[in-house]
C-alpha cells in the first residue's frame, strides 16, 4: 500500500491491510502444506505398509488442481478482520513458517491421513480393490480437505 497523504487514518488502514495480508499468507501456506503433506504421506504410508495406493493418479491430480486451487486462492484474499489491529505487533524477525504453524500443518495432515486410511481399510474389507474403494477414499480425502480449508480460515 502506498500512502498518498499524511492523514493518520490512512496510516492505520495501511497497517491493518498489511497485517491482514500477512495472516492471509500464513493461512494460505498452512492449507497448501497440510494438504500436500497429507497426500504425499498417504501414498508413502500405503507403499511402506505394502497395501495398494488408496488414490489413483487422476484422483491425485484432481485433488491438486481442482480441490486445492480455489480454496487456497480464497484464503489468500480473505477480507480484513478489523480485530487485527488489537493484536500485538509481530516480531519482524519471526518467520512466516513458524513452529506453531508447522505443528498445525502436521496435525491437520495427520488427521487427514488417519481418516482417509481408516476409510480405505474399511472399504478393502474384502481384500480386493474396486473402483468403489478408491472412490470412497477419494471422497473422504476431499471432505477432510474442505474441512481443513475451513479450519485454516481462523
For the segment 98-111, what is each residue's pLDDT rounded down to a tens digit?
899 999 999 999 99
Q: Tell me if 31 sits within 8 A of 71, measured CB to CB.
A: yes
What local confidence, expressed as pLDDT, does residue 45 receive? Answer: 94
Q: Residue 88 domain-assigned? A: no
Q: Is residue 127 classed as helix, strand or coil in its secondary structure?
A: coil
Judge if pTM exceeds 0.95: no
Q: Residue 46 domain-assigned? A: yes
For the segment 73-85, what is each residue's pLDDT rounded down to a tens digit?
888 888 877 787 7
Q: How far is CA 117 from CA 33, 61, 144, in A?
A: 19, 19, 12
Number of domains comprising the chain: 1
For the segment 7-61, what is each residue's pLDDT rounded down to a tens digit?
777 777 788 888 888 888 888 999 999 999 999 999 999 999 988 889 988 999 9
Q: Residue 3 domain-assigned? A: no
Q: Residue 147 domain-assigned? A: yes
pLDDT band of residue 1 (cuts 50, 70, 90) is low
Q: Residue 13 domain-assigned? A: yes
Q: Which domain holds residue 23?
A: 8-83+95-152
Q: Residue 2 domain-assigned? A: no
Q: Residue 136 domain-assigned? A: yes
Amino acid at each position: 500500500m502506498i500512502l498518498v497523504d499524511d492523514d493518520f487514518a490512512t496510516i492505520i488502514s495501511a497497517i491493518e491491510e498489511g497485517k491482514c495480508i500477512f495472516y492471509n499468507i500464513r493461512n494460505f501456506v498452512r492449507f497448501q502444506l497440510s494438504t500436500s503433506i497429507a497426500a504425499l504421506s498417504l501414498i508413502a504410508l500405503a507403499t511402506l505398509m505394502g497395501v495398494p495406493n488408496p488414490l489413483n493418479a487422476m484422483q491425485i491430480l484432481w485433488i491438486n488442481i481442482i480441490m486445492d486451487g480455489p480454496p487456497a486462492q480464497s484464503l489468500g484474499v480473505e477480507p480484513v478482520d478489523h480485530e487485527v489491529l488489537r493484536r500485538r505487533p509481530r516480531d519482524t524477525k519471526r518467520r512466516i513458517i513458524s513452529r506453531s504453524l508447522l505443528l498445525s500443518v502436521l496435525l491437520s495432515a495427520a488427521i487427514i491421513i488417519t481418516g482417509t486410511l481408516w476409510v480405505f481399510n474399511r472399504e478393502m474389507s474384502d481384500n480386493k480393490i474396486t473402483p468403489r474403494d478408491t472412490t470412497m477414499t477419494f471422497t473422504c480425502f476431499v471432505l477432510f480437505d474442505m474441512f481443513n480449508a475451513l479450519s485454516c480460515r481462523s
